[in-house]
Structure 1
Amino acid sequence: MEKVKLGDIAVLINGDRGKNYPSQADITEEGDVPFVNAGHLTGRTIDFGDMNYISKEKYEKLNSGKFEKGDILYCLRGSLGKKAIVNDDVVGAIASSLVIIRPDYEKIDGEYLMFSLDSPSIKEQLVKANNGSSQPNLSAASVREYQIELPDISLQKEVVEKLTRVRNVMDERQKELNLLNELIKARFVEMFGDPIANTKGLEVRSLKDVMVLKAGDFTAASDISEEPNEVNMYPCYGGNGIRGYVAEYNQEGNYSLIGRQGALSGNVQYATGKFKNTEHALLVTPTIKMNSIWLNQLLINLDLKRYQTGAAQPGLSVKNLQEIQIIIVPIDEQNKYAEFVRQVDKSKVVELNAVA
């Protein structure tokens, strides 16, 4: 099948680096022009629920970075390759962490391009294009060089139709998994109350008194493989889950990790077995006896994103996190809750097998 450069079938438009990121004075009320950053790209669409808006006057002064219906917004920094297609009749502006991909619709179907950007081939090209700095980073120039399989436009639409059916089934399963996750959170509140407001009046202590937070070491992108293609390869966790696999691990056991930098700082994940965490993921080590499953859910329910600082590059300060007040619960109660979570997780396995 013919392959073409992405830059031959689409125009790539960067944000206006001189003017694009709004100051606090530029932020206006909902109803003006949306200003989109990486954190607003959710599930192939734009999440307008926590959007910043800029005035029409500010928008008109931008030299670049203006999107419109049919454009694809693609993440160049942090969560590389995260994307959304603009399906609504809306115009807006992007942060410099994104690039606009404007397809030539006479040559390529927009949804086909979205699926193509999810392909293993493109993911391999993305890894090679990452410049390997401490903060994952792509350039628009490197994205233009992506090689895209380009069948006839009618065949593209057939592919989209088939893959959309598959995705719809997977989305339904994901909804069921999300309900199970909500059940886990609801059970936590039922047993221990809201840990932020401490609605059950439990004993509290500062986080620094009961656990230690430590970031991992810098891990170059060139040391991370997309697949565990060797015998001794271990998951490598960044701030938003597994980035890939590495030849060495620095942790072993059951731990919570907290994303510390970027739009997804405050994200809580659970790592088990042998793994490595990068400088973007804080390893949580309790200094008193705690059930690791209970602790993970506690951190999720604390909504750590509330403690983000910074606008252009959100992040978490370890010093600030250490002052958070943590509820203290008897270990036998933690264990009861953890057993409930294990039973729910068995239902998740059933749902995942149904997808497969």
Structure 2
Amino acid sequence: MTEYPTARVGDFCRTGSGSTPSRSQLERYYQGGAIPWVKSGELREGIVVATEEYITAAALKETSVKLVPAGAILLAMYGATVGRLAILGVEATTNQAVCHIVPDAKAADTRYLYRAIERQVPAIIAMGVGGAQPNISQAVVKDLSIPLPNLPEQRRIAAILDQADAHRAKRREALAQLDSLTQSIFIEIFGDPVSNQMRWPELTFDQTVCDETSRAAKTLQADYLDVGSFPIVDQGQKPVAGYTNDETKLCPSPLNH
């Protein structure tokens, strides 16, 4: 495995967080706004190009909200989405729950850095403070140690990982389509089981099965053999819990499995 030099995120990136313009100034800070304002709930492991809310130039001028350049990596620092990542596809602002990470273009490729941070998200969350939803501080982000090969190698690694993700996405899509096709074929042949369009006879569960419990013929667990002529199926255990050679313990009819 190739060993790359490492560097702290704070040594080659600028980090920061945003804020929420006062909601009491809706008309001045929000209505008619054209500046994207990203909330942590909008980070969905992709590229953010549009937001649910926009703010005005007055909000940018009069509050502590900051413009973040396109290409920055966004990390949710707390709340239900803590640890979630995205790449900013347009110049935008964020709320206080989002940490922006702006790499030095001469030191790090955005896609590579995104992947490197993504790999460490579980460790980042573990270093947070709090209970079920820990808070991540910018100090933790800045102190992250990232393998940092030269830029061409970073781009090569990022391209490989992007391609692997694309293949996984196609596979998930194919499986979803196959599942949908299977359901469609079932309904085409048998009809919708809820509405019973085919008017199939309806039976209760106990009318469709035969109770073949062992009752008094049950083999005691102490009598299970490691090797024998007949397998023993035991509730709550592996498919075959042991074996017996006693024919009197056999089920009167075959079990479907």
Q: Distance in 1 between the 2:111 and 2:142 partners?
A: 18
Q: Distance in 2 between the 1:184 and 1:58 partners?
A: 53
Offset at residue 135 of structure 1 (A): 2.8
Change (3 A) 1:127 1:192: same
SS at match of 2:83: coil
Offset at residue 185 of structure 1 (A): 11
Alignment of 1:188-199 (within 5 A): none
Paired letter, 1:108: A
Change (3 A) 1:148 1:72: same
Q: Which position in structure 2 is the counterpart of 1:10?
A: 13
Which of the numbers 137, 146, 149 marks the counterpart of 1:148?
A: 146
CA deviation string 1:88-127 (max 9, x = no partner): xx322111110110111100000000110121xx135313
Q: Distance in 2 between the 1:182 and 1:94 partners?
A: 39
Alignment of 1:328-347 (within 5 A): none
Q: Which position in structure 2 is the counterpart of 1:93?
A: 93
Q: Distance in 2 between the 1:74 and 1:38 partners?
A: 8
Q: Which position in structure 2 is the counterpart of 1:201?
A: none
Q: Which position in structure 2 is the counterpart of 1:81?
A: 83
SS at match of 2:7: strand
Q: Which position in structure 2 is the counterpart of 1:60?
A: 61
Unaligned 5+ segments in structure 2 are 196-257
Normalising by structure 2, report the TM-score. Answer: 0.62
Q: Distance in 2 between the 1:179 and 1:170 partners?
A: 14
Normalising by structure 1, report the TM-score. Answer: 0.46
Unaligned 5+ segments in structure 1 are 194-356
Whether contact under 8 Å (1:6, 1:144) holds in the other structure is yes
Whether contact under 8 Å (1:33, 1:93) holds in the other structure is yes
SS at match of 1:42: coil
The higher-RCO structure (CA 8 Å, 6+ apart) is 2
Q: Distance in 1 between the 2:95 and 2:127 partners?
A: 20
Offset at residue 84 of structure 1 (A): 1.1
Q: Which position in structure 2 is the counterpart of 1:278?
A: none
Which of the numbers 157, 163, 166 marks the counterpart of 1:165?
A: 163
Change (3 A) 1:179 1:51: farther
Alignment of 1:170-319 (within 5 A): 170-177=168-175, 179=177
Whether contact under 8 Å (1:34, 1:54) holds in the other structure is yes
Offset at residue 86 of structure 1 (A): 1.7
Larger radius of gyration: 2
Change (3 A) 1:179 1:142: same
Paired letter, 2:12: I
Whether contact under 8 Å (1:20, 1:94) holds in the other structure is no
Whether contact under 8 Å (2:60, 2:66) holds in the other structure is no
Q: Distance in 2 between the 1:47 and 1:136 partners?
A: 27
Whether contact under 8 Å (1:28, 1:52) holds in the other structure is no
Paired letter, 1:11: R
Whether contact under 8 Å (1:2, 1:149) holds in the other structure is yes
Q: Distance in 2 between the 1:148 and 1:142 partners?
A: 13
Change (3 A) 1:127 1:84: closer
Q: Percent identity?
A: 22
Offset at residue 177 of structure 1 (A): 4.6
Q: Which position in structure 2 is the counterpart of 1:236?
A: none
Structure 1 window deviating more from structure 2 (107-116 vs 151-160): it is 151-160
Paired letter, 2:94: I
1:127 equivalent to 2:125? Answer yes
SS at match of 2:146: strand
Count the aligned residue pairs. 183
